[in-house]
Amino acid sequence: MLYLHIPFCKQKCSYCNFHFSTSLNFKDEMISAIKKEIFLRNGELQNKNLKSLYFGGGTPSILKVDELKSIIDEVLKYFTFDREIEITLEANPDDLDKNYLKDLSDSAVNRLSIGTQSFFDEDLKMMNRAHNSSEAESSIKRAQDFGFENISIDLIYGSPTSDFEIWKENLNKIIELQVPHVSSYALTVEPKTALNQWIKNGKINAPKESEQNREFYYMSDFLKDHGFEHYEISNFGKPGFHSKHNSAYWKYREYLGIGPSAHSYNGRNERSWNIANNQQYIKLLSQNILAKETEILSEKDRFNEMLMIGLRTIWGVDLSDFDKNFGDEIREHFQKEITPKMEEGFLILEDNHLKIPEKHWFLADGIASDLFMV
């Protein structure tokens, strides 16, 4: 699978610490650099038949549709598309006007991930989103009118500008709008963000973990009652609408990440990441130099990642190849650490898959880290 990072946004959201620029001065050069990187690195993917192509960011919908098409054309020089390929575009509601969606419907893009975040203006203002509540709803309806059925929306819970009743109304909108996939995250206070500074200055209250916990479990029950499968801690999909792209991440498949700050994994023991600097990325690629760093994952690294990723999903960690992939030291550590967790009910074993019961999913990262080999 192939990931393309488009590092531009109209404005900086208060909670975001992803890599992007609000200046479009070097957009053309960036597109050229991304195409150059595709040319230089296409051989790193063993499987040339792509099942997933994902435009992430940043805000990929900041690009014109013709620019997106030109990048897709570049990909097709080196890869073929599976008959059922999922081509996702992350998009902001304010970008999805009629003209944009009309042009987009004539492209290969067949899935939209819309950064809704909330259907309430007070939340959106606090987050410094570029859209309002009306656009949040109308963009989804317009996309459906132009034939986009495979739509995911992002929602943030546990915001200090929200409450439980507002959260329930946000969830009701999912059902009302017939959206088949939801990615939902607790509002997290990251360093070097406006939100972090506002909380330090007392301008806004910090999110309450107890409220986030309550909203998380209500969301899980509510969406499952309406036909969604809770297949990863933060992801819910109707049958047939699970994200192929993210599911491949969670199952340790190989992927190639193109663009500044993008990560790649060879499916075995090598991970790489591009520099998070737009101008340096452009400069290096113009000289046919890859703007990436690489690390070889140790046995401990692979073990810890397997736990951190797998225990967040409905599938859990497949133990069938465990003996083949790990030595005696890790196997003994693993058995020692999981035994008390299983006795306490925080872990279960089903069909040779180690899982966290869903009632403990809100604690999954902590449970996984307790099992780490350090």
Class of residue 99 by CB neighbours under 10 A (exposed 0-12, middle 13-18, buried 19+): exposed
In this prediction, residues 124-148 reach a mean pLDDT of 94
- The residues, any chain, with a CB within 8 Å of residue 286's CB and separated by 6 or more, are 29, 32, 33, 36
What's the pLDDT tens digit per position in 95-128? 999 999 999 999 999 999 999 999 999 999 998 8
DSSP state, residue 43: G
CATH topology of domain 2-249: TIM Barrel (3.20.20)
- Backbone phi, psi, residue 372, to 5°: -60, 150
With both helix axes pointing from N to C terminus, report the angle between 98-105 and 65-75 in degrees, rounded to the nearest 10.
Answer: 20
Q: Report the pLDDT value the prediction gives residue 149, as an integer from 0 to 100.
A: 97
Torsion of CA 246, 251, 254, 255, to 10 degrees: 10
DSSP state, residue 362: G
Q: Cα–Cα distance between 256 and 77 in angstroms, integer? A: 16
Judge if 2-249 and 298-374 fold alike in CATH terms. Answer: no
- The residues, any chain, with a CB within 8 Å of residue 243's CB and separated by 6 or more, are 86, 88, 152, 181, 183, 235, 237
CATH topology of domain 298-374: Arc Repressor Mutant, subunit A (1.10.10)
What's the pLDDT tens digit per position in 29-67? 999 999 999 999 999 999 999 999 999 998 999 999 999
- Beta strand 348-350 pairing with 353-355: antiparallel
- The residues, any chain, with a CB within 8 Å of residue 83's CB and separated by 6 or more, are none
Q: Cα–Cα distance between 222 and 161 in angstroms, integer? A: 22
Closest CA to 78 of 107, 39, 52, 109: 39
- The residues, any chain, with a CB within 8 Å of residue 138's CB and separated by 6 or more, are 93
Q: Report the pLDDT value the prediction gives residue 189, as an integer from 0 to 100.
A: 87
Q: Which range among 81-90, 143-152, 245-254, 310-319 shows the weakest confidence by mean pLDDT? A: 245-254
Q: Which range among 7-21, 103-117, 143-157, 242-256 shows the weakest confidence by mean pLDDT? A: 7-21
Q: Report the pLDDT value the prediction gives residue 278, as an integer from 0 to 100.
A: 94
The domain segmentation of the chain, as residue ranges, is 2-249, 298-374
